Structure 1
Amino acid sequence: MAEDDAPSAKKERAEAEHRWPAAIGVFVILLSYATLPPDLFGEVRFGVIGVCLLLLIPVIIVNPHRLRRQTTWSRRVSVGLVLLIGATNQVLLVVLVQLLVANTSDGPTVLLAALQVWITNVIGFALLYWELDRGGPVVRTQRTREKLPPADFRFPQDEDHDASPEVAAHSSRTSNWLPGFVDYFYFSLSDSMAFSPTDVMPLTHRAKLLMGLEAFAGFVLLALVIARGVSLLG
């Protein structure tokens, strides 16, 4: 569990983040896995779904509503869950690329599968960014800013304190704003669509590598889907 700081410092903490936006993201990924075409991932997908659920249940029990508590094992389970999802998504991407290149599967089915894989990739990277940045969702809100680990990402709110009053009202310095899952989902979505950073900038090597991998995956998937769509129209 995160250690309490002095009473005077507690006022500087942000409100603990809700559990359910990230949990809903995991459930959407698992539903996508369950409805993928059998030739894309076979029966292995149900094993992955089962393991993900086994990892998700204890972290929900530790923090059923807001993310206030963290132990060594709950942190490892949370990170392990998003790493498993991330690895599964990359395997799915490789298999899907093979199907698109081979051009032997039913066209509409494989294009729908491509959409599912793209969505799971966006949510999966959002979960990974959310778990890694500034120590994770519990540390971000349960420690004062002076005790936070170095940031992996710079959000616009981190530097808006000297903007016009109505904009500065939402800045980190003025309102004690900290990123939540929706913020990470948005920039994961924009990175996967624009193939580059948009309003959020990576600050560390691991952040740059992860965003580069997501952008590359999105580019390859889009290029092959467009090529397959053109072949179907032709």
Structure 2
Amino acid sequence: MSKPTMVRAPSIRHTRRWPASLAVVSVLVLQLLVPPQVNALPRWLMPALGGLLLLPLVWMNPFHLRRDEPWLRPVEVTLVAVLVAVNAYYLAGMISILVNGDPNQGKVLVKSALLIWVTNVVAFAVWLWEVDRGGPFARAPEHAREAERADLLFPQMTVDLDGWKTWIPGFTDYLYVSFTNATAFSPTDTMPLTARTKVLMGVESAISLLTIAVVAARAVNVL
């Protein structure tokens, strides 16, 4: 009599959290490089504040999303909102230099613009990652939780092709959406569906446009 064949249950692949955490840490490190002419705040303030907000998130889910706590999303959204607010403050300082500052501070303007633009892209990528369909926990197939309605319409969600029917966006997808929105100043292949994502993408486009406009204005002055 043959022995019954043992069927091994498929392993659960948990959604990765470390790409988003690494992106936030990189942005906090960039805050140390902002020129003092633009940043009147203590240089250590933003990395310290961001580290305090990031610590419980990393402690709960260091590499993958395994433990869902109701207070985690508000903490993450607060962290991103603080980053965006401080980034807008840096942008205001950069515009002030262009209008009233030393005309020979071209290197300061270019360096500040680059840091502000990169921070803008990463911050809004994390923000979109956290709000789309109720957040990464609600979207993850390994968690028995009903997701909210979609905030973003990805191209993969509109095609009926083998291998894409159960596709779930990861952080890299939201980073790409944020990058293209900051570059084109409008949505490209992924469309915002809800009012909150339209507001977020609109604010990101405005910050990016103003940042690039300052550098362009400086270039015109040089010419």
Residue 169 of structure 1 corresponds to which residue in structure 2? 162
Seen in structure 2, the aligned counterparts of structure 1 residues 96 and 81 have a Cα distance that, compared at 3 Å, is: same
Shift of 1:144: 5.3
> Which residue type is aligned with residue 106 of structure 2?
G
Structure 2 unaligned runs (5+)?
A: 1-9
CA distance in 1, matches of 2:48, 2:205: 29
Q: Does the aligned pair in 2 maintain the 1:16–1:138 contact within 8 Å?
A: no
- Distance of aligned partners of 1:152 and 1:108 in 2 relative to their CA distance in 1, 3 Å threshold: same
Could you tell me which residue of structure 1 aligns to residue 40 of structure 2?
42
Residue deviations 1:105-151 (CA, integer Å, cap 9, x gap): 61112211111100000101101101111111122104458x11111
Equivalence for 1:5: none
Instruction: State the shift of 1:15 in Å.
Output: 3.7
Higher helix share: 1
1:111 paired to 2:101:
no
Does residue 183 (structure 1) correspond to residue 181 (structure 2)? The answer is: no
1:17-166 alignment runs, 5 A limit? 17-104=15-102, 106-141=105-140, 142-143=142-143, 147-161=146-160
Please say which of residues 74-83 and 63-72 is displaced more in the overlay. 74-83
Q: Judge which range, 85-94 or 203-212, deviates more.
A: 85-94
TM-score by length of 2: 0.88
2: distance between equivalents of 1:75 and 1:212? 22
- With the length of structure 1 as denominator, give the TM-score of the two structures: 0.84
CA distance in 2, matches of 1:100, 1:189: 25
Percent of residue pairs identical: 38
C-alpha distance in structure 2 between counterparts of 1:96 and 1:15, whole Å: 44
| Aligned equivalent of 1:225 | 215
CA contact 2:186–2:205 (8 Å) conserved in 1: yes
Distance of 2:14 and 2:83 partners within structure 1: 24
Match of 2:3 in 1: none
Q: Report the secondary structure of 1:188's partner residue.
A: helix
Q: Provide the alpha-carbon RMSD of the alignment.
A: 2.0
Deviation at 1:180, TM superposition (A): 1.1
* CA displacement at 1:42 relative to structure 2: 2.7
SS at match of 1:38: coil
Q: CA deviation at 1:87?
A: 1.7
Asked if the contact 2:73–2:130 (Cα under 8 Å) also holds between the matched residues in 1, the reply is: no
5+ residue gaps, structure 1: 1-10, 162-167
Match for residue 164 of structure 1? Answer: none
SS in structure 2 opposite 1:40?
Answer: coil
User: Residues 98 and 169 (structure 1 numbering): CA distance in 2 closer, same or farther, change over 3 Å?
Assistant: farther
Deviates most, 115-124 or 207-216? 207-216
